[in-house]
Amino acid sequence: MSEAERLIGQFFEGLWNRDEPGLADRILSEDLRFRGTLGSETRGREEFLAYVAGFRSAFPDWLCRIEEIIDAGDRAAARMTFSGTHRGELRGLAPTGRRVSYPGVTLFRLERGRIAEVWALGDTQQLWSDLGILQLPDAG
């Protein structure tokens, strides 16, 4: 397993899926830069952990499933499936109780054995559709 695969696995499995914020000191740069699918941006570990906590309060059963990792040394990408049940407020949207599941890609930059930058890109049209906010036209 490469360093990128190990770090990305811990990022999703530990920080997001199991909600283990203590892991952050070992795998994230202190000045981590993060940009999320919904346009949220954080700088620094503590700000990022506050973002994760807020997001998990909206989706307490949030699950990030890694489908594939592409390792290019200090840069890496993970093809993902994100899912959860909307149980708390999300950007002013009251809980719907609806289940969401959508694909995405997360880009990483690694530096000195830690994650220095993260850019998560998810299919927000599918997210909003799953939440009942957006009506997507039929594909056929």
The DSSP code sequence of 54-122 is HHHHH-TT-EEEEEEEEEETTEEEEEEEEEEE--S-BTTBPP---EEEEEEEEEEEEETTEEEEEEEEE
Residue 109: the pLDDT is 98
The answer, yes or no, to whether residue 116 has pLDDT greater than 90, is yes
Per the CB < 8 A criterion, the answer to whether 108 and 76 are in contact is: yes
> Mean pLDDT across the chain, nearest whole number?
94
The answer, yes or no, to whether residue 104 has pLDDT greater than 90, is yes
What is the Rg, in whole angstroms, of the alpha carbon atoms belonging to the chain?
15
Residues 7-53: pLDDT tens digits? 999 999 999 999 999 999 999 999 999 999 888 999 999 999 999 99
Mean pLDDT, residues 93-101 taken together? 96
Banded pLDDT at 6 (limits 50, 70, 90): very high
Hey, where are the domains in the chain?
Answer: 3-130
Per the CB < 8 A criterion, the answer to whether 33 and 117 are in contact is: yes
**Cβ neighbours for 73, distance < 8 A, ≥ 6 positions apart:** 4, 110
Strands 28-35 and 114-122: parallel
Q: How many CB atoms lie within 10 A of CB 111?
A: 12
State percent of the chain over pLDDT 90: 90
Q: Tell me, what DSSP letter sits at residue 39? A: S
Banded pLDDT at 139 (limits 50, 70, 90): low
Q: What is the pTM of this model?
A: 0.91
Per the CB < 8 A criterion, the answer to whether 28 and 117 are in contact is: no
Task: Name the CATH topology of 3-130.
Answer: Nuclear Transport Factor 2; Chain: A, (3.10.450)
Residue 1: the pLDDT is 86
